[in-house]
Amino acid sequence: MSTRREILALASGTALAAAAVPEPAFAAGRADGWVATWAAVPTTIPPGDPLVLADQTVRHVVHTSIGGDQLRIRLTNEFGATPLRIGEVHVAVRDGSGASTDAVAGTDRRVTFGGRGAVTVPAGAPLVSDPVRLPIKGGTDLVVSIHLPESTPVTTLAAFAFQDNVVASGNVTAARRVTPVRTVGQVLFLSGVSVRTHGASIVTLGDSITNGANTETNANHRWPDLLAARLRAARVERGVANVGVSGNRLLHDPNPPAGSAAEAFAAYFGHSALRRFDRDVLAQPGAAYLVVLIGVNDLGHPGTVAPANEVVSAEDLIWGHRQLIARAHQAGLRAYGATILPFKADTLGFYTPENERKRSALNSWIRTSGEYDAVIDFDRAVRDPADPLRLAAAYDSGDHLHPNDAGMAAMAAAIPLRLFRN
């Protein structure tokens, strides 16, 4: 596997060529205001007994993309059937890297919601905090600590964080260092952090490839993270809100066949991109740009972890993409389409000649239709020149569908930064 230095070097390298059409006259920036710097998409949980926390603190590590002089926290109980009782929330700058959840001395701040430290989040709702005075630079890691004072089933979460978060006993939200009783690779009851700054946010809508599947845990090697690093290096003031969800589809919600193994995990795949678009994209503070990479699960899930009668055509996928474009444009966002990566010989059972034909047709439409405001050609960036239907070996995580860390860096390097300048 490539070293971290090699990966960041790739991410800051020359961008590959991308086909683009003339940009419409959308407002690309914002005056000083609130901009999303980090996001996690909430989903529900599969059937069965949930994790229950009682008089415990969950401490999350949050890797910011853009800095500001104040910040806000967004909690979520959007899949909870009952109100969520929060005892206290604190935020601080993280001390260290990797799996560390320590806080830098002197940076701890109590978070309030309408002036209250202890609050109840209604069932089915989010809750946005008051502004917190904690100036940070982009790329800073935060620790966000949430105390759950009473028995609380975890029914709203982001299932695949690719970051080790921890649970500790009691209310230790203000502690510099906590003693974990459990490590979780999930994000619990937390869905966003925004900062007050000059700039705007890029929202990356996608599936596991955008979410960061198969990348190194605790390393922030998802392609949206590496794009954010390139933007900071180029002094382009843009936040990146990663709203990728592993297993997500454009057109269908999770629907595991009765009695299948998928019943134990399919709920984590989240609502379809069309269904969650307003919550996960349009509600992001300062959203001005949308990057869409989605469709491979629509091809691969039917007959594997979804019913065979949910097979879609290339025309169905194009229709769904057109809806995303229309809704983004209606809200004043520029919409950029990314081509679907190759997946020949994948280990998940997605590849068939017919699915390849559909992928090719969808990619051709993304590249040539002119309906997206610009095209980001991820397919070209990571495919094997000797066999363009496969991922290049240097970028293959091993399942022939998900890129490894170097592949994520190649994807980030393939995005022209000019698309996000004023």
Q: Check which CATH number belongs to the domain holding 378 and give it.
A: 3.40.50.1110
- Residue 291: HSE in the Cβ half-sphere, 13 Å Cα cutoff: 31
Q: Kindly state whether residues 132 and 13 are assigned to the same domain.
A: no
Structure tokens at 408: 């994520």
**In whole angstroms, what is the distance from residue 320 CA to residue 333 CA?**
17
> Is residue 338 scored above 90 in pLDDT?
yes
Mean pLDDT for the chain overall: 93
Q: Kindly state whether residues 171 and 279 are assigned to the same domain.
A: no
> Is residue 389 scored above 70 in pLDDT?
yes
Identify whether 234 is part of a domain.
Answer: yes
Note the pLDDT of residue 32: 58
Identify whether 364 is part of a domain.
Answer: yes
Element containing residue 276 per DSSP (H, E): helix 273-277
Q: Which of 147, 168, 192 is the last residue of a domain?
A: 192
pLDDT band with cut points at 50, 70 and 90 for residue 4: very low
**In whole angstroms, what is the distance from residue 328 CA to residue 73 CA?**
24
Pairing verdict, β 334-338 and 287-293: parallel
**In whole angstroms, what is the distance from residue 419 CA to residue 20 CA?**
9
> Is residue 325 scored above 50 in pLDDT?
yes
Rg (CA), the chain: 20
pLDDT band with cut points at 50, 70 and 90 for residue 30: very low
pLDDT band with cut points at 50, 70 and 90 for residue 346: very high
Q: Which of 165, 192, 219 is the last residue of a domain?
A: 192
Q: What is the per-residue pLDDT across 110-143, written as a single tens digit (0 to 9) for each?
A: 999 999 999 999 999 999 999 999 999 999 999 9
Q: Which residue has the higher pLDDT, 146 or 31?
A: 146
How many other C-beta atoms can be found within 10 angstroms of the C-beta atom of residue 389?
Answer: 15
First to last CA, the chain: 37
Q: Kindly state whether residues 90 and 55 are assigned to the same domain.
A: yes
Q: Kindly state whether residues 281 and 329 are assigned to the same domain.
A: yes
**405-413 vs 4-11: helix crossing angle, rounded to 10:** 20
pLDDT band with cut points at 50, 70 and 90 for residue 266: very high
For 97-144, give the DSSP string: STT--EE-TT--EEE-BTTBSSEEEPTT-EEEPPPB---B-TT-EEEE
Q: What is the per-residue pLDDT across 141-177, written as a single tens digit (0 to 9) for each?
A: 999 999 999 999 999 999 999 999 999 999 999 999 9
Burial class of residue 339, CB neighbours in 10 A (0-12, 13-18, 19+): buried
Average pLDDT over residues 354-366: 98
Identify whether 277 is part of a domain.
Answer: yes
Q: How many domains does the chain have?
A: 2
Of 231, 214, 210, 212, nearest in space to 295 by CA: 210
Q: What is the per-residue pLDDT across 186-243, written as a single tens digit (0 to 9) for each?
A: 999 999 999 999 999 999 999 999 999 999 999 999 999 999 999 999 999 999 999 9
How many other C-beta atoms can be found within 10 angstroms of the C-beta atom of residue 393?
Answer: 10
> Is residue 1 scored above 70 in pLDDT?
no
Note the pLDDT of residue 23: 37
Q: Which of 142, 177, 192 is the last residue of a domain?
A: 192
Q: What is the per-residue pLDDT across 284-299, written as a single tens digit (0 to 9) for each?
A: 999 999 999 999 999 9
Q: Which residue has the higher pLDDT, 236 or 23?
A: 236
Residue 376's DSSP bridge partners are 338
Identify whether 395 is part of a domain.
Answer: yes
Q: Kindly state whether residues 267 and 400 are assigned to the same domain.
A: yes
Of 365, 377, 358, 172, nearest in space to 293 by CA: 377
Identify whether 203 is part of a domain.
Answer: yes
Identify whether 38 is part of a domain.
Answer: no
Sign of the C-alpha dihedral, residues 295, 300, 306, 308?
positive
Quick one: what percent of the chain has pLDDT higher than 70? 92
Q: Kindly state whether residues 240 and 386 are assigned to the same domain.
A: yes
Structure tokens at 225: 């993270």
155 neighbors 80 (Cβ within 8 angstroms): yes
Residue for token pair 């459990």: 182
Q: Kindly state whether residues 327 and 416 are assigned to the same domain.
A: yes
**In whole angstroms, what is the distance from residue 7 CA to residue 29 CA?**
29
Of 229, 233, 163, 228, nearest in space to 201 by CA: 228
Q: Kindly state whether residues 208 and 318 are assigned to the same domain.
A: yes
Average pLDDT over residues 305-326: 98
Identify whether 40 is part of a domain.
Answer: no
226 neighbors 415 (Cβ within 8 angstroms): no
Q: Kindly state whether residues 244 and 382 are assigned to the same domain.
A: yes
**pTM of the complete model:** 0.93
Q: Kindly state whether residues 158 and 231 are assigned to the same domain.
A: no
Q: Kindly state whether residues 205 and 261 are assigned to the same domain.
A: yes
**pLDDT-wise least confident of 14-28, 303-317, 380-394:** 14-28
Containing domain of residue 242, as a range? 4-30+199-420
Note the pLDDT of residue 121: 98
Structure tokens at 351: 């590849």
183 neighbors 204 (Cβ within 8 angstroms): no
118 neighbors 146 (Cβ within 8 angstroms): no
Amino acid at 17: A
> Is residue 378 scored above 60 in pLDDT?
yes
Q: What is the per-residue pLDDT across 245-258, written as a single tens digit (0 to 9) for each?
A: 999 999 999 999 99
Identify whether 388 is part of a domain.
Answer: yes
Q: Kindly state whether residues 245 and 133 are assigned to the same domain.
A: no
260 neighbors 331 (Cβ within 8 angstroms): no
What is the length of the chain?
Answer: 422
